[in-house]
Structure 1
Amino acid sequence: MMKGFYIREIRLVGAGVDDAFIKFYRGLNIVSGASDTGKTYVFECIEYMMGASNPPKEIIEARDYTHILMEIETNDGVVISFKRRINDKTIYAAFTSISNFDRMQKYISLDVKHDASNNDNISMFFLNRIGIKDIILLKKNKNGEKQTLSFRNICHLNNIDEKSIIKDFSPILSGQYVSATVEKSVFKYMLSGIDDEKCDQIEDVKLRKAKIISVIDFISEEIATLNETLQNVENELSVCEAVKQDELTVLESEIEEFENQLKAKLVQKKQLNRQIDEKLSEKQRLQALQDRFGLLEQHYHSDLDRLQFIEEGADFILQVEKVPCPICHSNMNTVDLTAEISDDLSAAYQNEQQRIEMQLIDLKDTVKGLIAQIATIDADVAELQRLLSAINNEINEIKPQLKLFKAIIKRNEGYIKLKNEKDYIAAEISRKRALKIAYEENSKKAQPLLQYKGEINDELLDDFCTEIENTLTNWCFDEFQKVTFDKKSSDIKIGDKERKSFGKGYRAFLYTAFVISMMRYTIKNQLIHPGVVILDSPLVTLKEKETGTDVPDKMQNAMFNDLAKNNAEQQVIIFENKQPTAPIEGKVNQVVFTKDYTHGRYGFFDIKNTK
């Protein structure tokens, strides 16, 4: 199901007065009655609730009403009501009926001003309800400036007031020159579904000229800076000396050889340092061992001294005489040291002394070996240090030569870099000068025209005109001929006769056919359309401009019957002074304003409240 909606009710409310309301339904709605019964006022209320900035005209019958409410139902069955204070710029919406609106606790506040960047305005609210979720861009003028599609742009093609319907220019246009381009873009979008997103904007003439002058000045400054840089580079080159290619080759070969030699010497140096470190570590280990052996020798000598002391002590004991205790005069209980025991002790002392002396001899031999190893290590380290010193001398001889040769290469690379920089700057100066000339020539040229056309193709227009032909055939149009679309006037022609050449009645009738056919065409082709058309006085007296004779009623009756039969799923609201002259076949809601408070409904307002 296509997106869209239909209007269910318009209501005015105010303090101290009964509500003024009118209900509508899907299909054909005809509100007929004499002048000054409120038909045009209802039309203006609908426009106001759809985002028009101007409120309904001030009439005495409406002086006590302060708010307008409108209830719609979307094609997917959602009921939405709107409320707007007269002369206010905010519309409040709620997903409920008009009857429940004031009981709702939450409303959606919608600004009247269109803003495509958010949905908090009545325009985007309605656009979303008819299936437009994305921003639609429309060409605004010949320079390609763009604006976004608003719901008011669409209302212009569907809500036709009594003055516009008889106008002698295109139904697409409002008559304002400044809005003609965007109005044509809206018509194209409605018929094709294609907007003007691909239209590229061209610059304003004065802005374009100012930009070109600014670019030329900028390029001139760049050229001046480049010339200064080029002079500095040339000055540096004048004090540089280039190396010839054959000399450069020899230098590079010698540098490679020196680097290889240096690399080998550094490896040897590393190996010698490692060997020296290993020798010194071994010497340190041997010296530590030698110190421990010195301590052990001291222990051995101490043991020998202790044995000698014990042996001498035994001799002294043998010579001591036993005597009674000088205190108690008793004999002391002691073990007697006999000569036999003394000999055994002496033999043990000698054996222990011999063992220690043998250990001392072995220890001294070991120490002598350690001293010899340390002497050998010292000799090896001295030789390694001699070799290391020789390699360091060789390295110190290679490095200055290598450094000198590399410096020559580096200076030559600096020369080459400066020369390349000079060539690049010179080429850049030439390019900038050519670019400056191009901009200067461009500044003398006329402003380029917009290349984007964005017109409706003839095939679509032919299909649309065929739809209008079908409508006019159904409406028994008595001057029927082939319908064509004149791009110059953006209006239709009947045969060779332009629509504006007809009298007011026929112009209004053909305008109505244009609007109804556009709704049918867009819906048939799954394009965007609200599904609502509102027409104020499409059947003003139909008279031939030339002859002044009346046109048969069959045309208006055929129109009503066609709308009732073929637009039952859409909504057509017609405000007309006179009633249909024959019964209407099909779905129709007829409301008659009698302008007689004693008979039927007087008008939109209750006349008793205004007497």
Structure 2
Amino acid sequence: MTIILNKLTVTGPGKTPAFLDFNQKSHLVLGPTDTGKSYIIECLRYCLGSNQRPKDIGYSEGYTRISLQIILSNGEEYTLFRDLIEGGESVYPGLHINPPQIEASPLSQEISQLLVSWGNGSGKKILIKSGELGNFTAGDLRRVSIFDEIETLENAPFEGRDTNLKTRNRSALTLVLTGSDDSDVVLPPSTKKLHIAKGHIEALLEEIKDLKENIPAEMTKHEAEENLSSVSIAIDRINSYLQNHTTELESLKNEHLRLDNENHLLISRISALTEAKNRFLLLDKKYINDCQRLQAISAAASIVTSFETRSCPLCLTDISHQSRHMSENDITSVLWQAAQAESEKIIDLRKGLELALVDISEKLSALSKNLEENLTLITTNIECQEKLISPISPISKGNLTELNERKTLLIIAVRDFERIERLESRLEEMQTQVKRTKKNTEKDVSQSATLLCNRVKSLLNEWEVPGVECIDFDKTISDIKINQRKRVSFGKGKRGIFLTAYMVALMEHAVSNDYPSLGIIIIDSPLVTYKDPKHTSDDPEEVISEVVKNKFYTWLANRKVIGQIIVLENEEPDKRLKSKLFITEFVGPDKKNGRAGFFPI
């Protein structure tokens, strides 16, 4: 099923409606620059489900709603409404200028959903990224149906420039060309899954490396298992022997614990008494220093009275007449007596301190003797325990703790070996998945491509485009080649006419075979003449001749085959063709005779 455009209308409060009647026919919209042709393209794209609202061009100010009347190939009529302010949309059965208020209710589906259904694309799956399927959408249909001037003349293959969309664009065009989707394709991992797998591989390699570093370099799994078995047997023997001597060993261990605690207590007491002794010795030294100081003061006080009072050697002032000097002469005897008394007091203190030091020394001697005896008992206890254990086996010369530690290390090593084996198996699986990414998911399009290329060449010959000898399809970029040259390698003018032939042929091929297609081609400036200052107007790479232009318009006027073609151009056909074409002509705002542009002025 396909759609046919009937009428485009733009309305707004208090504004004269702007409209374009297609009358269900292929149509030419003719006019110079700034007459609203690009706005018409944007309105049609917007009404057909695009999220991109038409750009304001000045004349469009105040207009708030677009309506597009369409008729399906089965005769059903619908009107698509889009809000220019808030972006809302609705679809009503029948042909309307404004949304009906009472007589009809809008359809529940969105425009994009309806377009996919009307365009035979429902349920179709395409490859949207490497290893990832997605739905065929209205956007894919619009991409092969609507072309503004930039897209018509763009110097890029049809797969597009955006690397994120190239896979999708190629898959969508293959579906339109062959009618076969990608739902049955055996997919390699998607790019996202591939990156995850590569990250997983790096993590596995890193973990394997860490595990191997924890294992002795020359040890094998077999050696680790044998050593573990030997150590386990030795430990079992020791444990068996110990179970038979549990009571005796327990008694020795308890005694060892008691002796060890007593040993710590003795050491603590000896340390405290030693510290006290050292402090007392330091105090005794202080007392000695104090006695020596007091003796010096006493000696000085006893001889100071024998000195004769003399005048100042500098100023010869006599001091004897000063009353303070006379009163202080009596202090000397008091100072001597005080020093003597303090010295005798310190001597008495030293005697008491000496007795305390003797007592501490005796206690330290006794504690040291006890400590020595206790250490002897501990040594004897350890020897008894060793003698009790020694008959077990030659391997038990190392104690049980060391054997248990050895067993633990061997258990960890064996587990690491087993973990490495599992990781290496997982690594091999992940590496196999990564290697499988280079699967050929492309389909054989040769038969459909041949039919397409034949139709493109037929159209170009009918339009008398010069120099076209052969047309080929390059599936790697979803574009055609002319005389073994890529379409984009030609000049601007020829790129446009070649794209037009390519898309018209693709639409006709899809519709005739009931492949996904809207059945319309809307294209802006397919006959543009590009006159670069560096080239003459006769440059065959850049200029579309008058012959091609007239042949193209003749073809458009006489066209009776599949689909609807809407052409927007500023290249005017000759007068004899105008009467044959379904044409809407804009003359521009400066001319009085004729319609100025899309919007009323």
* Closer, same or farther: CA 213–521 of 1 in aligned 2, 3 Å: closer
Matches within 5 A, 1:487-506: 487-506=475-494
Name which of 135, 138, 152 aligns with 1:148.
135
Query: Is residue 461 from structure 1 mapped to residue 449 from structure 2 by the alignment?
Result: yes
Q: Which residue of 2 aligns with 1:245?
A: none
For the residues of structure 1 that align with 2:128 and 2:3, how far apart are their CA atoms? 32
Q: Percent identity?
A: 22
For the residues of structure 1 that align with 2:199 and 2:495, how far apart are their CA atoms? 53
For the residues of structure 1 that align with 2:476 and 2:199, how far apart are their CA atoms? 38
SS at 2:26 equivalent: strand
Q: Deviations along 1:471-502, whole A, 9 cap, x unmatched? A: 11111111121111223443222113322221
Q: Which residue of 1 aligns with 2:116?
A: 127
Q: Which residue of 2 aligns with 1:175?
A: 161
Contact 1:593 1:600 in 2 (8 A): no
Matches within 5 A, 1:96-245: 96-99=94-97, 101-108=99-106, 120-135=109-124, 138-140=125-127, 143-171=130-158, 173-203=159-189
Which amino acid is 2:57 matched to?
I
Contact 1:143 1:450 in 2 (8 A): no
Which amino acid is 2:506 matched to?
M
For the residues of structure 2 that align with 1:546 and 1:193, how far apart are their CA atoms? 45
Aligned-pair CA distance for 1:441: 2.6
Matches within 5 A, 1:76-95: 76-95=74-93
For the residues of structure 2 that align with 1:551 and 1:585, how far apart are their CA atoms? 28
For the residues of structure 2 that align with 1:131 and 1:141, how far apart are their CA atoms? 19
Name which of 16, 19, 27 aligns with 1:18.
16
Aligned-pair CA distance for 1:71: 0.6
* Closer, same or farther: CA 199–15 of 1 in aligned 2, 3 Å: same
Q: Which residue of 1 aligns with 2:458?
A: 470
SS at 1:588 equivalent: coil
Q: Which residue of 1 aligns with 2:40?
A: 42
For the residues of structure 2 that align with 1:176 and 1:206, how far apart are their CA atoms? 18
Contact 1:522 1:529 in 2 (8 A): yes
For the residues of structure 1 that align with 2:116 and 2:81, how far apart are their CA atoms? 18
SS at 2:568 equivalent: strand
Q: Which residue of 2 aligns with 1:565?
A: 558
Contact 1:12 1:20 in 2 (8 A): yes
Contact 1:12 1:21 in 2 (8 A): yes
Matches within 5 A, 1:299-378: none
Contact 1:68 1:84 in 2 (8 A): yes
**Quick check: which has more Rg, 1 or 2?**
1
Contact 1:82 1:91 in 2 (8 A): yes
Name which of 496, 502, 505 aligns with 1:508.
496
Aligned-pair CA distance for 1:132: 3.5
Which amino acid is 1:193 matched to?
G
Contact 1:506 1:543 in 2 (8 A): no
Contact 2:3 2:72 in 1 (8 A): yes
Aligned-pair CA distance for 1:543: 6.2
Compare 591-600 and 538-547 and name the one that shifted more: 538-547
For the residues of structure 1 that align with 2:531 and 2:468, how far apart are their CA atoms? 16
Q: Which residue of 2 aligns with 1:328?
A: none
Contact 1:83 1:91 in 2 (8 A): yes
Contact 2:472 2:480 in 1 (8 A): yes
Q: CA RMSD in A?
A: 3.5
* Closer, same or farther: CA 518–544 of 1 in aligned 2, 3 Å: farther
Contact 2:80 2:89 in 1 (8 A): yes
For the residues of structure 2 that align with 1:209 and 1:66, how far apart are their CA atoms? 47
What are structure 1's unaligned runs of at least 5 residues?
109-117, 219-430
* Closer, same or farther: CA 146–444 of 1 in aligned 2, 3 Å: closer
Contact 1:505 1:540 in 2 (8 A): yes
Contact 1:50 1:152 in 2 (8 A): no
For the residues of structure 2 that align with 1:204 and 1:524, how far apart are their CA atoms? 34
Contact 2:132 2:190 in 1 (8 A): no
Q: Which residue of 2 aligns with 1:325?
A: none
Aligned-pair CA distance for 1:210: 6.8
SS at 1:454 equivalent: coil
Which amino acid is 1:486 matched to?
D
Which amino acid is 1:490 matched to?
S
Aligned-pair CA distance for 1:572: 0.7
For the residues of structure 2 that align with 1:64 and 1:184, how far apart are their CA atoms? 40
Aligned-pair CA distance for 1:546: 9.0
* Closer, same or farther: CA 144–204 of 1 in aligned 2, 3 Å: closer
Contact 2:30 2:571 in 1 (8 A): yes
Aligned-pair CA distance for 1:25: 2.5
* Closer, same or farther: CA 20–449 of 1 in aligned 2, 3 Å: same
Query: Is residue 449 from structure 1 mapped to residue 434 from structure 2 by the alignment?
Result: no
SS at 1:69 equivalent: strand
For the residues of structure 2 that align with 1:451 and 1:545, how far apart are their CA atoms? 49
For the residues of structure 1 that align with 2:495 and 2:191, how far apart are their CA atoms? 41
Number of residue equivalences: 383
